[in-house]
Amino acid sequence: MAVVSCAQTLQFFQPRNLCFLPSIRFPSRFPRVCHVKTPVYLKSSKTTDITPSLLVRASNSSSSSDFTPTIGEILGEVRIFTASGEPVFFKDLWDQEEGIAVVALLRHFGCPCCWELVSALKESKERFDSAGVKLIAVGVGTPDKARILAERLPFPLDCLYADPDRKAYDVFGLYYGIGRTFFNPASAKVFSRFEALQKAVKNYTIEATPDDRSSVLQQGGMFVFKGKQLLYARKDEGTGDHAPLDDVFDVCCKVPVA
């Protein structure tokens, strides 16, 4: 196996190399608001639902209290795809009364940092399973891109889902843009996980990157539900700024399983 030096890894993450992307051209402007098909549901003192806007997307929501109490019902009606290509609603992925689920929204299937996160989720899966917690990983891209990651990492196909239209990401109002993807200081955290990253990307291929190249500017987040109730919410500030899985597990363990 080829050994990747620290210097090579630093070069890999330099924005000018754009190694999160294939050689592509971005349009000068990204009409992100026009893409949104689902309202962003954040709590407000004036109204429960806030329609999508750049101001909403710039908000810092890292607490479940920032979202409307009906966020679970709203997410439940979002349709995504299994890694095998079958359509499925979020509400069908776990018991909507008492079931506990961790929903990890990745960036996209071709993101090296997401391979590292998925690898960490795989290593933690047994611990979550033993606690009665359903682990759900969702990435931006089509099911065939999800299968590339699942086969090469590897990762259980029955835990991996594809959201090519980023509908779930819009529901939570997750961050999007060049600044968040390449220039946010929070992304520096990835260097503290160098060995884990190096191990996770040993079979990496850029072929897992979505065909819709604008999708690579999407950031992810981590959420914990009990039934339809949102217990934990964290939006990634930048690429590689993942929620600590120990914190996520602690939240799950504080909730008695029916």
What are the tens digits of pLDDT across the range 44-67?
433 333 333 222 233 344 578 889
3-state secondary structure of 224: strand
Give the chain's mean pLDDT.
82
User: What confidence score (pLDDT) does residue 66 get?
Assistant: 86
CB atoms within 10 A of CB 62: 14
Instruction: Kindly report the backbone phi and psi dihedral angles of residue 175, in degrees, each rounded to the nearest multiple of 5, phi listed first.
Output: -65, 155
Is the confidence at residue 9, as pLDDT, over 60?
no
Cβ contacts of residue 82 below 8 Å, gap of 6+?
Answer: 88, 143, 157, 158, 160, 161, 162
The C-alpha angle 63, 223, 57, rounded to 5 degrees, equals 60
- The mean pLDDT value for 91-112 works out to 97
Side chain identity, residue 2: A
The pLDDT of residue 50? 30
Mean pLDDT computed over 163-186: 96
| pLDDT band at residue 25 under the 50/70/90 scheme | very low
So what's the pLDDT on residue 186?
A: 94
Mean pLDDT value across residues 196-222: 96
Residue 142's contacts (CB-CB under 8 Å, 6 or more residues apart) are 81, 162, 164, 210, 211
Taking the C-alpha atoms of residue 56 and residue 50, their distance in angstroms, rounded to an integer, is 8
Distance (Å, whole) CA 195 – CA 200:
9
Q: Which residue has the higher pLDDT, 213 or 27?
A: 213
Helix (H/G/I), strand (E/B), else coil: 50: strand
Residue 80 has a pLDDT of 98
Please give the model's pTM, rounded to 2 decimal places: 0.78
Do residues 197 and 67 lie in contact, with contact meaning Cβ atoms separated by under 8 Å? Answer: no
Secondary structure letter of residue 191 according to DSSP: G
**pLDDT for the residue numbered 64:** 80
Task: Tell me the pLDDT tens digit for each residue of 104-147.
Answer: 999 999 999 999 999 999 999 999 999 999 999 999 999 999 99
pLDDT per residue as tens digits for the range 59-88: 344 578 889 999 999 999 999 999 999 999
User: Does the pLDDT of residue 242 top 80, yes or no?
Assistant: yes
What is the β-pairing status of strands 221-226 and 160-162?
unpaired
Where residue 233 falls (left for φ over 0; alpha for ψ -120 to 50; beta otherwise) is beta
| pLDDT over 50 at 14, yes or no | no
On the question of pLDDT at 12 being above 60, the answer is no
Q: When comparing pLDDT for 173 and 60, which is higher?
A: 173
